[in-house]
Amino acid sequence: MTTREAEKQPIELNPLTFPLYGERLIEASAGTGKTFTIASLYIRLLLGHGSCETRNEAPLPVDKILVVTFTEAATGELRDRIRQRIIDTRLAFLKGYSHDPITSEILKQFQGNEKECCDILLQAERQMDESAIYTIHGFCQRMLTQNAFESGSSFENKFLIDDSKINELVVANYWRKVFYDLPKDISKMIAKKWGTPTALLRDVKSFLTGNQISILNASTEDLTGTEGITAKHKKNLDRIKKLKEECKEGMESLIAAIMATKINKRSFTAKSVLNWTTQIQVWSEEETVDYSFPPCIEKFTKTFLEEKTNGEIAQHPLINEFQDLFDHKPTIFGHIISDAITQCRDLLQFEKDRRQLIAFDDLLTKLSAALKNDGTGKVLASIIRELYPIAMIDEFQDTDPLQYDIFRRIYSYKCRDQETNKFGIFMIGDPKQAIYAFRGADIFTYITAKRFVESHYTLGTNWRSSAEMVKSVNAIFGNSSNPFIYEGDISFTPTKSAPNADQRGWSLDNKKMPAFNITWKDSGTNAAKDDYYNTSAFTAAVQIKEILSSNAAYLTNKGDKRKIQASDIAILVRTGDEAAVIKSALSTFGVQSVYLSGRGSVFDTLEAKDILHILNAVLSPDDDYKIKTALSTSLLNLSAFELMELEKNEHQWESIGFEFLNYKKTFERKGIQAMLNNLMFARNVPETLLACENGERRLTNILHISEQLQEQFQQLGNTHAVIRWLKECIESPNSQNEEEQLRLESDNSLVQIVTIHKSKGLEYNIVFLPFVCAFRAAKKALFHDESSGKAFLDPDSGFSALAKADKERLAEDVRLLYVALTRAVYGCYIGIAPLQDGNKTRAPSTMGKTAFGRLVCEDKTSIDLADYEKIIASFSEKFPNFGLTPFIHPEDIHDLESLIKAPLSIQNSKETPCEARVYSTNSIVTNWYVTSYSNLVQQGHSHSTYEPEVSFEKEENDKEDDEEEKLTIFSFYKGAKPGTFLHTIFEDIDFCKDVYSEETTSVITRLLKVEGYEEEWLPIIQEMVSNVLNRPLDNSGIKLCEIPANHRITEMEFMLPIQDLKAWRLSRLIEKHDDMSKGLPTLEFSDVSGMLKGFIDLTFCANSKFYVLDWKSNHLGESPECYTQDAIKESMRDHRYELQYQLYSLALHRYLKHKLPDYDYNKHFGGVFYVYLRGVELDGGNGLFSAKPSEAFLNDLESYIDGTYKS
């Protein structure tokens, strides 16, 4: 957007002389006292303060001053702050003085009228509960209800709090109406793209209410629905057919034209050209049944040729045709999105009208429509204006076109029509803090209002931060000539620091610390995203541990000095994934933290599932299976061996049954809460949980679920009905329901981890931003026209539209960074690194696409390693007061173990801490126990040293910043829970049935629902399962889809007796026999005798041979090429899976020797398969590992564990 030449310079706002009427825009930068200013203006409006040029026409009571904000929490805070200001001002009038300069000046004007002012303020204080301080939705609802005749509102409408069900119904109806009659080829494309109506709803939901979105390149044809989609499909096929004909006629002349130019012959070798033209020729001769085309067509596009040609490129019609094909790929999905949005909006309104329902967003739509009505709109606006002569709109940068249109029609036109000091609208906000686009907030609406409004004001003094912190933020954002991208509309003006702000600071070990600290990657390659996350988190964790373990870490303010506490520190992140990384790093160093933004559903937790199993057992105390299931949950935590021992002891098992019978009686007599309390204390659940990492979080969840169950028990009065309710909640958790939202565990003296979005409006003494160089490029082509502010959607995500959307993404990322940095009072730390673009470690990094990169790189978008090194080198010159430190790695710390174990300094405590007496921890010597492959491997890892690798498991409730990625098996959730889910699929399905059959589809759908995964994953999972079952496992052609159920054993359990198993001897033996074990570190488990227990994922028989198979869900990369034999072998060696298959092979070998009278190893033992589920293709060798240990090896291994081996 261009700068308006006539734009007025903003005026520094003085709360005492600000005119209390008219249309005025107030830009309040971070920390400049926005709420204080609103309260000051409110006091002036109550008292009628000001000169004849600045006061309102008459003093106003609290029910005549409208204050609108956007959340219930914000309205509560505003009401409390204004009430307190009223109380303080009234007391000042009674005393005759005030230390606050604003209040002091107000007292001067009303000298002689103190009693009258006190009466006004006392009345206002008493009426504050009736004050007109509302959310935008609350305001609209009130206006529609009070003015039902003028607004045309129905008195019979029922309010719809949760519109998710009706949205699902509407899209499902559209799906049936439009998709069921489509030809099979189109149906297949739709099924692959969306799979279910739920997946389609996810793409259209945000466009079903509010202003109608403008669809880019929307079809102008009259055909809609089934006919329109079919016509679009035919048009696409005709386009491809036409191109094929042109290829048949023109490829030869195209090649000649290209080769006649100065094309790079290394890129266009004769062999390559022949290969490409052959592919295109074959394609052009094929029947056109879909939109596919050879990827090599890209080699003949204008873009590619310009890159590879020295001089003018060839001129040929096909070059433009190929370019157009790549720029505008044929698709029906954009057409469908456009059609679905249009039809579903109509269907949704029809359903709401039919049921007489009104949802939150409908309140705005209906009031806006009423105000636009030619007959009654102006009358309604006049009524509202007389009701509330003055309106203050807080957080105005978070408005949207509909909201702005409402207030403009009520106030703006009237304020411009005539000179009056009766009516006014004050729009208060900060465009630099507009960060809620995902909620529908629209910065372009703010920009439109700024252009429309004549009177602009600013608040320019930062009252929050230290002088050095203010100076640092000014330096960072002042480094760019246009930091917020939309020049002239969102500008950066340096703020002033408050008086005495230079007396604020912090110190560590008697050294004054910089307010702004940068840590950076210092090695000569771009960083992979995971490496950046882990290294930056480790660095931040070290720095935080050093601060909190120091006896000389202080905050200083005007001479007062106090020790830094854990609660002084906040770590700001974008997503739950980032929170998990930093929380894990802090835990390694013994620093407790709390994630304050994790507000998913409590029913989407392991604790909810565990409690369900426990309740099932309590109601069936005679059902051994249910009791064993309950005892094996993570809450009661009995191992399989302990359960087995319990079952052997008839007396003990009987007592367990009586225990659960007593729980049932308590349940029926006193309720669920009493029963669960009894069970938890009898089984020491709180003590066990609180001794574990994240135990407080889990205990909070249990208590929360217990309360919810008790409430339902009181309402339903039936134990089985309560269990049905709990099942439904687990299957369909709703994080939008406040009753279900996870409660915060205690955050006393803990480091706080919070998302930047949730941190807005708050302040923290020391802020860490370890991940400022991580970002997500725009995936959805939703953008605005910069001159009109109108929103557009390109459903086909064309290059140009996506580029505009990404520009908006970057602009919001800059605003997010501004919000984050301005939370800090005394100091902040940020971690930066050049992240690799794809797999290229030395090519230009992605830093130029990040907010921090834009600010420090002078708007340069392509930043290579040389640029990065120059940037780092320039910091000391550009920002001389900044602290600069390279990333810290574990090997950089002289004594890592000591730092990890270092106690935290006692913070802010005047009492002598209680200390537990230390007793000897020498244990009784015994090495007979039940072990497993996992125990043997894991004992080799020290739990007290830092583990830098963190597995990212997607949190489904992080919607505010985690935009959807393309769904593939490689992007499917990672971690233990998703791995178990994938294993369970192969346990529950029938291998011999078609993966796409109703039965198998039902099984997979059920498991997706149980585990809380979206239905849109169904086609992805089905394709993976189909590949695995139909892929030949070896040269003999064995396929799992041909193995009947009676030839398979799932989770075959085994127990091997072991005698004096020593790590070094076992290592030497396996290295001797198996090349996979050679060169690996010696195993490090403690000597053990007893039993070695395990479960084989799948044991099966094919062609009279028996095989071991293990499913692996490990994520090795984003394509099948990441699952080659070499990659899988490296993974297996990293995790010591070779020891696993050696032990499993031995178990099967021993079993077959005892079961088959004529057992012959070479004849009956087939070998081992390790199936890396994500990497299996129907054709090719990726994703599968096979081995067959020699008979001599297994015999030696058996002798060794029996204690008879002679080396």
**Phi then psi dihedrals of residue 19, to 5 deg:** -65, 130
The upper half-sphere exposure of residue 131, i.e. CA atoms within 13 Å in the direction of its Cβ, equals: 29
Tokens describing residue 150: 């003028």
Residues 629 and 1081: beta-carbon distance below 8 Å: no
Q: How far apart are CA 554 and CA 507, in angstroms?
A: 5
Can you tell me whether residue 133 is helix, strand or coil?
Answer: strand
3-state helix, strand, coil in the chain (%, to 5): 50, 15, 35
The answer to the question of whether 34 is labelled as a binding residue is yes
Backbone angles phi, psi at 499, to 5 degrees: -55, 140
CA angle 298, 301, 304 (to 5 degrees): 80
How many of the other CB atoms lie within 10 Å of CB of 1175? 27
Q: Examine the residue annotation and report whether 394 is marked as an active-site residue of this protein.
A: no
Q: Consult the annotation and say whether 761 binds a ligand.
A: no
Q: Determine the Cα–Cα distance for residues 1028 and 1170; give it in Å rounded to an integer.
A: 11
**28 annotated as a binding-site residue:** yes
The 3-state DSSP class for residue 695 equals helix
The answer on whether 921 is annotated among ligand-binding residues is no
Lookup: tokens for 834: 């050049």
- C-alpha to C-alpha distance for 645 and 726, rounded to whole angstroms: 32
Is 1047 one of the annotated binding-site residues? no
What is the C-alpha to C-alpha distance for residues 773 and 833, in angstroms, rounded to an integer?
7
What residue ranges in 120-257 does DSSP mark as E strands? 133-135, 158-160, 214-215
Task: Name the DSSP class of 893.
Answer: S
According to DSSP, the β-strands at 593-595 and 553-557 are unpaired
Round to whole Å and give the CA distance between 77 and 139: 17
User: Nearest Cα to 340, choosing from 437, 187, 479, 228?
Assistant: 228
Residue 885 assigned ligand-binding role: no
Per DSSP, the residues of 916-953 read PPP---PPPP--EEEEEHHHHHHTTS-TTS--------
Packed helices 72-95 and 114-126: angle between N→C axes, nearest 10 degrees? 150
Question: One of 747, 1110, 1134, 1179 is an active-site residue; which one?
Answer: 1110
Q: Are the CB atoms for 988 and 1003 separated by under 8 Å? A: yes
Q: Decide if 1182 contacts 1123 (C-beta within 8 A).
A: yes
137 marked among binding-site residues = no
Q: Cβ of 681: how many Cβ atoms within 10 Å?
A: 11
Contact partners, residue 1088, CB within 8 Å, separation at least 6:
927, 928, 929, 931, 1058, 1061
SS3 504: strand
Between CA 276 and CA 318 the distance in angstroms is 14
Sheet holding 553-557, edge to edge: 511-512, 504-508, 553-557, 560-563
What is the C-alpha to C-alpha distance for residues 802 and 416, in angstroms, rounded to an integer?
39
Give dist(CA 387, CA 64) in Å, integer: 6
Residue 474 in contact with residue 29, Cβ under 8 Å? no
How far is 990 from 745, CA to CA, in rounded Å? 44
Instruction: Cite the annotated binding site for ATP by residue number.
Output: 28-35
Instruction: Cite the annotated binding site for Mg(2+) by residue number.
Output: 983, 1097, 1110
Instruction: Cite the annotated binding site by residue number.
Output: 28-35, 983, 1097, 1110
Active site residues: 1110
